[in-house]
């Protein structure tokens, strides 16, 4: 393994691990706040129990995410010193603001965890909203920095150096809004479906569990709404890619010929040697319409790009196809759930479960797809930008550290992440899922 590949692999592994905890930090506070609001409104102890459990789970993920986030911060400087030497003054502000949001989240999460009987109900609920806001802002600042790598702005190059730096223009770069929107909605969809799936499977085993019933209603509402909104944000993000990164778009679609009325390819396996995508289903003019809302719009093909400036097409295309497939599966599952709720809510009665055992099983199968879609989406974002670490400005190979032997820290960090993963699972089982629950009626078939 070359040092460049080792550095990229280590960064990819760290990002893939950390993004799970980042998503939980964004979305889980909304679930615990909604549970507490329900408790304040109805006085039902089950909702207080649920809010406290979810808060403990949020704290566990927050603590481990702080470790993996710190590792990423060191890796930026140690693995990519040339990148940080040039880009640090430009994107330093969003990273600084992210640090402020992180500490704010930590402070108010502590208040939320230990302030149930020590502060007023209004102040306690407000602390939960601050945790939600600060977690979301952390994502906003970090993703804006990543968007800058895709659409660099706020500086001018002079003799190989960045001059006339405008950090606000850099943070508000062209891709920032679409990337932030897509990531934040993805986090709510992924966490909502993951939590809904866990409680759905628990409910199949323990149909009398009132806590799992209440949890399923809240989590599916959050995840379902986000999943139905996600295709809209994805369309906005794809249009931005078409405008600013046409080579990435061509790799995402496995599109080789520059042409008007370009077809949209569903599935398929790109052959980078023969420069063709095999076995795909083509929708005439579909790509031109989706990218530019014009069937006659021209789409750049990969054949017009030198091979050394093309991203890995197979990986980018398959990751993009997987992300889209997972996203639409979740949206379809959410739509089915809302239809079932509309049809059966009166028959189920107040507090009743409208979902039968088969739909609960479906939720269990779909529950990991949100996180798989997030991982696939970040693969598209990062791999599809190659060979650039800053699009059109600096190549990844020029930014890596000259230090040899990067395979060893890659192996050590892999072991660390394995240990952290096992630790999270053990802590969640002990502090979130093992307490007794209250009872309710069993679910219906169907």
Tens-digit pLDDT profile for residues 291-329: 998 999 999 999 999 999 999 999 999 999 999 999 999
Higher pLDDT, 188 or 210: 188
pTM of the model: 0.90
Sign of CA dihedral 48, 40, 117, 100: positive
Tens of pLDDT, residues 406-446: 777 778 878 888 888 888 888 877 766 665 444 344 444 44
Give pLDDT, residue 110.
92
Task: Summarize the confidence of residues 125-134 as an average pLDDT.
Answer: 94
Tens of pLDDT, residues 382-399: 999 999 999 999 999 998
Upstream peptide bond of 65 is cis (omega within 30 degrees of 0): no
Q: What is the CB neighbour count within 10 angstroms for residue 26?
A: 24
* pLDDT confidence bin for 77, thresholds 50/70/90: confident
Give pLDDT, residue 442.
43
Give pLDDT, residue 347.
63
Give pLDDT, residue 349.
52
Q: How far apart are CA 4 and CA 440, in angstroms?
A: 57
Residue in this structure with the two tokens 């699972």, named with its chain if needed = 425
Which string of DSSP letters, residue by residue, matches 28-75?
A: HHHHHHHHHHHHHHH--HHHHHHHHHHHHHHHHHHHHHHHHHHHHHHH
User: Residue 337: is its pLDDT beyond 50?
Assistant: yes
Give pLDDT, residue 440.
40
Give pLDDT, residue 32.
93
* pLDDT confidence bin for 352, thresholds 50/70/90: low
* pLDDT confidence bin for 346, thresholds 50/70/90: low
Task: Summarize the confidence of residues 204-231 as an average pLDDT.
Answer: 90
* pLDDT confidence bin for 125, thresholds 50/70/90: very high
Give pLDDT, residue 443.
44
Give pLDDT, residue 445.
43
279: left (phi over 0), alpha (psi -120 to 50) or beta: left
Higher pLDDT, 78 or 235: 235
User: Residue 283: is its pLDDT beyond 60?
Assistant: yes
Percentage of the chain exceeding pLDDT 70:
94
Higher pLDDT, 73 or 239: 239
Tokens found for residue 69 = 């986030």
Using alpha carbons, list the distances in angstroms from residue 413 to 10, 17, 64, 79, 423.
8, 11, 14, 13, 15
User: Residue 173: is its pLDDT beyond 50?
Assistant: yes
Task: Summarize the confidence of residues 72-89 as an average pLDDT.
Answer: 86
Task: Summarize the confidence of residues 24-31 as an average pLDDT.
Answer: 93
- Write down the mean pLDDT value for the chain: 88
198: left (phi over 0), alpha (psi -120 to 50) or beta: alpha
Residue in this structure with the two tokens 């091979």, named with its chain if needed = 307
Using alpha carbons, list the distances in angstroms from residue 28 to 129, 190, 421.
11, 10, 18
Q: For 195, list phi and psi in degrees, rounded to 5.
A: -70, -40
Contacts by residues 98-101 (CB-CB < 8 Å, ≥ 24 positions apart): 98/137, 98/138, 98/141, 98/142, 101/134, 101/135, 101/137, 101/138, 101/141
Residues 6+ apart with CB under 8 A from 181: 233, 236, 237
Residues 6+ apart with CB under 8 A from 406: 3, 6, 7, 10, 79
Tens of pLDDT, residues 247-274: 999 999 999 999 999 999 999 999 998 8
Q: What is the CB neighbour count within 10 angstroms for residue 171?
A: 21
Task: Summarize the confidence of residues 94-98 as an average pLDDT.
Answer: 89
């Amino acid at each position: 393994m070359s040092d460049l590949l080792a550095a990229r692999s280590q960064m990819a592994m760290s990002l893939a691990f950390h993004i799970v905890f980042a998503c939980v930090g964004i979305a889980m506070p909304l679930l615990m706040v909604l549970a507490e609001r329900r408790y304040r409104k109805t006085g039902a102890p089950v909702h207080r129990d649920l809010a406290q459990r979810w808060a403990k789970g949020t704290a566990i993920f927050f603590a481990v995410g702080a470790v993996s986030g710190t590792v990423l911060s060191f890796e930026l400087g140690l693995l990519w010193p040339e990148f940080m030497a040039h880009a640090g003054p430009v994107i330093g502000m969003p990273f600084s603001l992210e640090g402020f949001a992180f500490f704010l989240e930590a402070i108010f999460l502590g208040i939320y965890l230990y302030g149930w009987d020590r502060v007023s109900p209004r102040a306690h609920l407000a602390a939960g909203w601050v945790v939600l806001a600060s977690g979301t802002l952390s994502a906003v600042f970090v993703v804006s920095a990543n968007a800058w790598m895709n659409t660099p702005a706020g500086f001018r190059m002079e003799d190989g150096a960045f001059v006339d730096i405008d950090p606000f223009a850099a943070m508000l770069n062209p891709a920032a809004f679409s990337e932030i929107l897509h990531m934040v909605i993805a986090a709510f969809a992924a966490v909502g479906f993951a939590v809904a799936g866990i409680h759905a499977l628990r409910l199949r085993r323990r149909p009398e569990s009132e806590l799992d019933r209440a949890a399923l209603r809240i989590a599916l509402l959050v995840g379902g709404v986000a999943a139905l909104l996600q295709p809209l944000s994805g369309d906005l993000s794809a249009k931005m890619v078409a405008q600013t990164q046409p080579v990435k778009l061509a790799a995402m679609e496995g599109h080789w010929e520059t042409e008007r009325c370009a077809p949209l390819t569903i599935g398929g396996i790109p052959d980078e040697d023969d420069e063709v995508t095999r076995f795909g289903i083509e929708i005439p003019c579909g790509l031109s319409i989706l990218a530019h809302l014009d069937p006659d719009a021209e789409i750049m093909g990969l054949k017009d790009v030198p091979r050394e400036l093309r991203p890995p097409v197979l990986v980018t295309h398959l990751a993009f196809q997987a992300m889209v497939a997972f996203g639409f599966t979740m949206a379809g599952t959410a739509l089915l759930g809302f239809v079932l709720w509309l049809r059966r809510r009166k028959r189920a009665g107040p507090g009743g479960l409208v979902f039968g055992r088969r739909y609960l099983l479906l939720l269990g199968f779909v529950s990991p797809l949100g996180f798989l879609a997030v991982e696939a989406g970040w693969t598209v974002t990062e791999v599809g930008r190659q060979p650039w670490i800053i699009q059109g400005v600096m190549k990844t190979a020029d930014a890596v550290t000259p230090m040899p032997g990067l395979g060893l820290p890659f192996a050590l960090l892999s072991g660390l992440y394995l240990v952290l993963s096992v630790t999270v699972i053990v802590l969640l089982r002990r502090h979130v899922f093992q307490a007794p629950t209250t009872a309710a009626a069993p679910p219906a078939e169907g």
